[in-house]
Amino acid sequence: MNHTPKKIVIVGGGFAGVNLAKNLSDHESFDVVLVDKNNYNFFPPLIYQVATGYLETSNISYPFRKLFRGKKNFTFRLGELEEVVPAQKKLILSTGEISYDYLVFATGCVTNYFGMESVERNAIPMKTISDALQMRNTLLERLEQASRETDPELRKKLLTVVVAGGGPTGVEISGMFAEMKRTIIAKDYPELAGASGEIYLVDGLKALLTPMSEKSQKYAYDTLTKNGVKVRLNAMVKDFSDDVVHFANGDTIVSKNLIWAAGVTAIVFKGIPEAAYGRGKRMIVDEFNKVQGLEDVYAIGDTCIQTTDPHFPQGHPQVAQVAIQQGQNLGKNMIKALSNATLKPFSYYDKGSMAIIGKNKAVADLPKPKLFFSGVLALFMWLFIHLLSLINYRNRIRTLYNWGVAYLTNDQSLRMIVRPASKFEREEVKPENV
C-alpha cells in the first residue's frame, strides 16, 4: 500500500544530526531534510589543531552533499534557523520557509561568555572552523609583529597567551602552545630568541580536567607546569580590556591574547516556549528525546538536557559520544514507531574521557572497568579514538599523515596567514576587458 513519507527536518549537522540522518536517509517511510548554516560537517574536538596549524581545515570537515551522495530520500538545505512556528509545523530560515512532520533540533551549542561583553568583544573564541582560522591568522600575525618589535614590553604582550578554561580543550591547546614554543617558534622566529612571553592556563575551579579522575588531573597539571605552562586555578576571569586580563580576586595578566575555552551554552530559538528550556538554555526532553510541551519536536546532543537517565540525573555531559548515541537511538525509535514497536529510552554508554597534553603525553580514564592510563599509551589511545571519530576515511588518512609528519619532525607546514580579499583588492584584480 502506498503511503506518504513523513518529512523529518533536522536542524544542525553535527554529531547528533548526521547520525540521525544516516539512520533514516535510506528509509522509504521518511523524507529527511538536513538544515545547516554551513554546507559541511566538522569535528569540534580537533578545532584547536586547525587553529595551531597542525591540521588543514579539510582534515576535520566534509561537505554534507558529498557525505550523503546517493542516499535515498535525503535533501540538504543551506540556511540559518530564524523562527519556529509549531502551530503550522514550519520553520522560517534565512533562505526561505520549510514545513515538517517531525522537527529535530541538533544545533549543538555556542561559546558562553557569561555576560562579559568585553571578553566577548576582545577574546579569541575557539568553537567553529571560522574561529580556528581567525585564531591562526591572529596569532601568526602577532608573532610577525613581535619579531620586528623593539619595545620589550610590547613584545612580551604580543607573545603572552592566556587560555581560559581548564577542560580538555584548554589543556590540549596549552600543551600544544608549549610544544610550539619549544620547537617550532624557536626555529621559525630566530629574532625572538631570548624574548619573554608566557603561556597561562587559567580556570575558576580548583583542578584541571574536573570531569576526569584525580590521577588525570594531577598528571595534566604536573606535565603542563613541567613544560613551562603557568597554571592558575581558582582564577575566574572577570574582564579583558586594554590588553589586560582581570580576575575576580584582583590579579591581572598583561596580554593581547586571551583564548576563550571556558564554557558553552545552547541556543534559544524564536517560537519555542520559554518553558521548554532548562539549565544552560538546553531544551528539556523526555527519555525519548521529545521536547517538553511540544508535539512532534525533538532535541538531541548538546542542545538538550535529559534527566531521565538514572546514571546521569543532572543531565548528560555535552560531549560527542552523547550526541552520536542520541542521534542513533532516536533514528531507531522513529523506525520502530512505524510498526508500533516498543521504543527504547535513551541510556548513555560512557566510553571514557581523554586529553592530550603534549608529545608522548596524554591521559585517559576508562569507566568500565575503572582504569587510568597516561603517557605514550594514552596518547595512542587518544589518536586512535579521534581518528575513528572522523566522519570518513579520507579525513582519517589525511589527519593520520599530518599527525605522523608532526610527530616525527616536531614541525608542520600549515602556518600560513590566509585572509579573504578585501573589496578593494577584489576590484584591483578584475580583468580590464570583460
Q: Which domains are delineated in the chain?
A: 6-109+266-338 (3.50.50.60), 117-264+352-409 (3.50.50.100)
Residue written as grid cell 546517493: 70
* Residue 172 appears among annotated catalytic residues: yes
Q: What is the dihedral of CA 358, 352, 207, 263, to 10 degrees?
A: 90
369 φ/ψ angles, rounded to the nearest 5 degrees: -70, 165
CB 317 within 8 A of CB 351: no
Centroid of chain to Cα 182: 26
DSSP lists the bridge partners of residue 164 as 202, 260
User: Could you tell me the pTM of the whole model?
Assistant: 0.91
CB 102 within 8 A of CB 8: yes
Instruction: From residue 198, give the alpha-carbon distance in Å to each of 46, 135, 158, 187, 253.
Output: 24, 18, 10, 18, 10
Residue 80 corresponds to which cell in the numbers above?
A: 540559518
Q: Catalytic residue among 28, 172, 274, 425, which?
A: 172
Q: Closest Cα partner for 320 from 338, 301, 303? A: 301
DSSP lists the bridge partners of residue 110 as 265
Q: Closest Cα partner for 160 from 125, 127, 202? A: 202
How far is 183 from 155, CA to CA, in rounded Å? 19
Helix then strand then coil, in percent of the chain rounded to 5, is 40, 25, 40
Per-residue pLDDT of the chain (434 residues; tens, 9 = 90+): 457 899 999 999 999 999 999 999 989 999 999 999 999 999 999 999 999 888 889 899 999 999 999 998 999 999 999 999 999 999 999 999 999 999 999 999 999 999 999 999 999 999 999 999 999 999 999 999 999 999 999 999 999 999 999 999 999 999 999 998 988 888 889 999 878 899 999 999 999 999 899 999 999 999 999 999 999 999 999 999 999 999 999 999 999 999 999 989 999 999 999 999 999 999 999 999 999 999 999 999 999 999 999 999 999 999 999 999 999 999 999 999 999 999 999 999 998 999 999 888 999 999 888 899 999 999 999 988 888 888 888 888 888 888 888 777 777 766 777 776 655 444 444 444 43
CB 57 within 8 A of CB 133: yes
Instruction: From residue 224, give the alpha-carbon distance in Å to each of 105, 219, 365, 408.
Output: 38, 8, 18, 21
CB 355 within 8 A of CB 362: yes
CB 342 within 8 A of CB 336: yes
